[in-house]
Chains A and B, each alone.
Chain A
Amino acid sequence: MDTVGTLFMPPEGSTFAGEIDSLFYFIVYASMVIFGIVLFGMLFFGLRYRHSRHIAEATTPGISHNTKLELVWSIIPTVLVLIVFFWGFHVFMKMNVVPKDAMEIKVTGQKWFWSFDYPEGVTTVNELVVPAGIPVKLLMSSQDVIHSFFVPDFRVKMDVLPNRYSVTWFEAKRPGIYNLFCAEFCGDGHSEMIGKVKVVNEREYAVWLEEGTSQGEGLSPEQLGEQLFRSKACITCHSAEGQRLIGPPVNGIFGHDVVLKSGQKVIVDENYLRQSILEPQADIVAGYDPVMPTYQGLLNDRQIDALVAYIKSLK
């Protein structure tokens, strides 16, 4: 399996990646030829006609132009770029026309994580699970500023806007785990807005959906909470080991006082934790920006209980 890619390009993970790479390498080779001509001309003329090779000072020939030569070096590059233009347009249209039988997933970008809503009712954060060999349409929008959905291995990129839906699609060629980046600058956590695209085969996908609708059965609340803390992207802003990230560390806070921006002191209990997750703007911890998104609608009651239990257990 191709996991390294070529000198320039990452592995070809989607059905149209190969076509983009062919065009890419066509431009690389054509450019190398043109660059070679320029470089050779510079070096050859520079050495051949360098000053020290002249015996006496002299005038130089007054060549003002040469119509034939100029036509050649105008027309050949023009033809080349026209080829590249049409080729690029042709592939671009394929990348933009979504196949009719594509399955649709709703993508939401917000500072600084991705969430994915499946028609079956499953919601994931920072992990997009899709079956291989089936076209997937993404219907995307943002909760705040502009983000951009970028999967290098798929050669897919599309801005995610706050005031409208944008659409892109891909068909993954084979199972694997691929990086998902945010490509449009969106603030302090921009470079942490990294997710994964997990491509599985169709059977695994069906099983995964099944599990998703009945998530976390058989786990203790703390275990489920730990899982959610990771999968719902709390971990991009909170450390469970005492470091200060975009948000405060959450270990050892339960039962202790916390100072709020208003100067007020409150004690961290279950209700405080619950409110911090569902209405983070209500009480802002002193020394931090009010950037935590609300998880209202992203978590069900069982999951909130699990997260609270997990944070309680952290020392």
Chain B
Amino acid sequence: MNTMPEKHYLNEKRGWKSWLFTLDHKRIGILYLYGIMAAFLVGGVFAMLVRLELLHPGRDLMDAKTYNQFFTLHGAVMIFLFIIPSIPAALGNFVLPQMLGAKDVAFPKLNLASWYIYVVGALVAIYSIYAGGVDTGWTFYTPYSTTTSTSVVAMTLGAFILGFSSIFTGLNFIVTIHKMRAPGMTWFKMPLFIWGLYATAIIQVMATPVLGITLLLLIMERVLAVGIFDPAMGGDPVLFQHFFWFYSHPAVYIMILPGMGIISELIATFSQKKIFGYKAIAFSSLAIAFISFLVWGHHMFVSGQSQLASMIFSFLTFLVGIPSGIKVFNWVATMYKGIIRFDTPMLYALAFLFLFTIGGLTGIFLGTLATDVHLHDTYFVVAHFHYVMMGGTVMAFLGGIHFWWPKMWGRMFNKKWALLSWLLIFIGFNMTFFTQFILGTKGMPRRYYNYLDQYQPLHAFSSYGSWVLGLGFLIMAVYLFYSIKRGPVAGNNPWGSLTFEWKSSSPPPVANFETEPILKHGPYDYDKIIPERTYS
């Protein structure tokens, strides 16, 4: 029978002050977790409302203005407040020092500051709803965004502030990974999740400032009427698109690389098997990080950009796709001759492989010049990036949440309900978004409040899917929160994993480990060691 440790990071200190002034990376991770969960809820409600409105052509429950604000808020909240901080800032914060065998991150105060900056940025962004809403889409394309009467300044200022939170987290992680690894943990003995976070941190530090500058220029144009992007004042609207995608394409990898890291951990643990092609996976993360800076123009094939530029961007886009493909093959190969258990986190890893592969393959249609002309700005694009962002990152995030949940709280969730919720999410997701591939190829443009009758059956089916999806998440919320207090005690190492964080108690002590840990084996040495599972 497992018992809870007497003292751990959750009960060592008590009261709200001990949370709001904490420097413990685990608690900061949990604070982030609350923040992004709230954002996910808000963004999700907007998404459900958007899908509800699209059930029929014409007005169902809101007018065009409100609809435009809702899809903008859905996108902005999900991207800036949820996905970008989700894995690095919440799970990464909680797990990274433990995986390295460190006591904390390199700069604990900066870490807490990042969270406060996140909260301030979020509040400013949400303030824009009261100040008249934003209706530009999360991409803020000029000159629409510089001329619309909605409160674009508040929203962009929010995103600008959030950028600093992201930069500081990245900086903190880079230094931590370089300086705070436990004795014996060489670069190639690091778990692959750390490699994922490392590559992500590089992009966060290098690309986010460009977004900051771009948004600042936008604010300057709106507030001070300096002509930068608006042709009426002598500016160039396409310049904004270049600036914006110079950040936002690499940002796609800020969102997916840490997810890929989690998948490596999950597949190895639940196949009880050495990861296939460790170095290939580690280096492909870095390769992706660097090439991702050179492909932004693939969002602009029909923007009037020169054909030569389009050709080069198309070519580089295919280059960045190959390493992702190689990773998928590596993960599948890892399962070969393993001892495979279908615990909840593994189910999410398999859902990731299924959905992310579709997301990646449909990216080929968009990277190819001739087919992109037809598919650009249609629902095909919407479906594609939901398969990558939700089918990829969110599935990895959910896998990670379920994986580290017993480490966070010391208790296990109910696996039967987890299976049901997984099933609903998987089915609902495909109903919602696979339909949208067909809508897109048939020519349905995105960001349409109203549409022609011929698209109605597909739109309706997609909306039904969103209800199944929503139900799945509702069930998950219930069983996860229930387990925090009442779940069965999980023990130190419920899944039988070899990485460092499972060596300490669950929940871990404030200093992460009782004694300074020393690395005796690699993170995936399942060929030498049979780890004991403390929960079954």
- Show the binding face of A for B, using Cβ within 8 Å: 5, 7-10, 19-20, 23-24, 27, 31, 34-35, 38-39, 41-42, 45-46, 49-51, 54, 57-66, 69-70, 73-74, 77-78, 81-82, 84-85, 87-93, 95-96, 144-146, 148, 150, 152-153, 155-159, 161-164, 166, 179, 181-192, 194, 246, 289
Contacts and interface: CB of A to CB of B under 8 A. Distances in A.
B332 A38 contact: yes
Nearest to A167: B304
Contacts of B364: 27, 31, 81, 84
Nearest to A161: B304
B303 to A, nearest CB: 5
Contacts of A150: 377, 443, 445
B44 interface: no
B322 A74 contact: yes
Contacts of B236: 163
B101 to A, nearest CB: 23
Contact of B315 (A8, A46, A85): A85
Q: Which of B277, B368, B448 has most A Cβ within 10 Å?
A: B368
26 contacts: A7-B438, A8-B438, A8-B441, A23-B370, A31-B362, A38-B332, A38-B354, A45-B336, A49-B338, A51-B340, A58-B339, A60-B272, A62-B528, A63-B337, A64-B276, A73-B325, A77-B322, A85-B315, A89-B369, A91-B369, A157-B374, A183-B376, A185-B68, A185-B144, A188-B64, A192-B450
A187 B67 CA distance: 11
A60 B314 CA distance: 42
A49 B353 contact: no
Given A50-B340, A96-B307, 6 more contacts: A38-B353, A49-B340, A78-B322, A162-B232, A186-B144, A188-B64
Interface in B294-347: 301-304, 307, 310-311, 314-315, 318, 321-322, 325-326, 328-329, 332-333, 335-342
Given A31-B361, A89-B314, A185-B141, A65 B369 contact: no
B271 interface: yes
A184 to B, nearest CB: 6
B22 interface: no
Contacts of A39: 354, 357
B27 interface: no
Given A31-B364, A38-B353, A49 B449 contact: no
Nearest to A19: B370
Interface string B345-374: 000001001100110011011011111111
B148 to A, nearest CB: 7
A34 B362 CA distance: 12
Interface string B57-69: 0000000110010
A51 B339 contact: yes
A283 B18 CA distance: 61
B12 interface: no
Q: 7 closest pairs, A vs B, by CB?
A: A152-B443, A62-B527, A163-B231, A88-B368, A92-B369, A91-B370, A45-B335
Contacts of B272: 60
A162 B147 CA distance: 13
Given A145-B147, A182-B445, A184-B141, A162 B373 contact: no
A27 B367 CA distance: 11
Contacts of B278: 64-65
A7 B441 CA distance: 9
B298 to A, nearest CB: 11
B325 A77 contact: yes
For the complex, would chain A's binding face be called helix, strand, loop or mixed by DSSP majority?
mixed
Nearest to A80: B364
Given A59-B527, A65-B280, A78-B322, A148 B438 contact: no
B38 interface: no
B302 A187 contact: no
Contacts of B279: 65
Nearest to A158: B302
Given A20-B371, A88-B314, A190 B447 contact: yes
Interface residues of B, number: 91
B399 to A, nearest CB: 14
Contacts of A182: 445
B495 to A, nearest CB: 12
B322 A49 contact: no
A60 B271 CA distance: 9
Contacts of A184: 141, 377
Nearest to B442: A10
B452 to A, nearest CB: 7
Given A57-B530, A70-B280, A162-B231, A88 B371 contact: yes
A20 B237 CA distance: 29
A256 B488 CA distance: 75
Contacts of B451: 191
B335 A41 contact: yes
Nearest to B139: A185
B273 interface: yes
Interface in B90-141: 135-137, 141
A54 B311 CA distance: 52
B238 interface: yes
B529 interface: yes
A60 B337 contact: yes
B318 A60 contact: no
A3 to B, nearest CB: 11
Given A60-B527, A65-B276, A92-B307, A84 B377 contact: no
A42 B335 contact: yes
B370 A88 contact: yes
A145 B279 CA distance: 48
A236 to B, nearest CB: 10
Contact of B373 (A85, A144, A155, A181): A155
Contacts of A64: 274, 276-278
Contacts of A41: 332-333, 335
Contacts of B322: 74, 77-78, 81
Given A92-B373, A185-B137, A159 B144 contact: no
A63 B447 contact: no
B221 interface: no
A7 B435 CA distance: 12
B274 A63 contact: yes
A19 B368 CA distance: 13
A59 B373 CA distance: 52
A183 B381 CA distance: 12
Contacts of B333: 41, 63, 66, 69
A153 B279 CA distance: 47
B376 A162 contact: no
A155 B63 CA distance: 30
Q: Which of B369, B370, B448 has most A Cβ within 10 Å?
A: B370
Nearest to B368: A88
Contacts of B530: 57-59
A84 B318 contact: yes
Contact of B277 (A58, A65, A183, A246): A65
A19 B369 CA distance: 13
A159 B326 contact: no
Contacts of B64: 188-191, 246
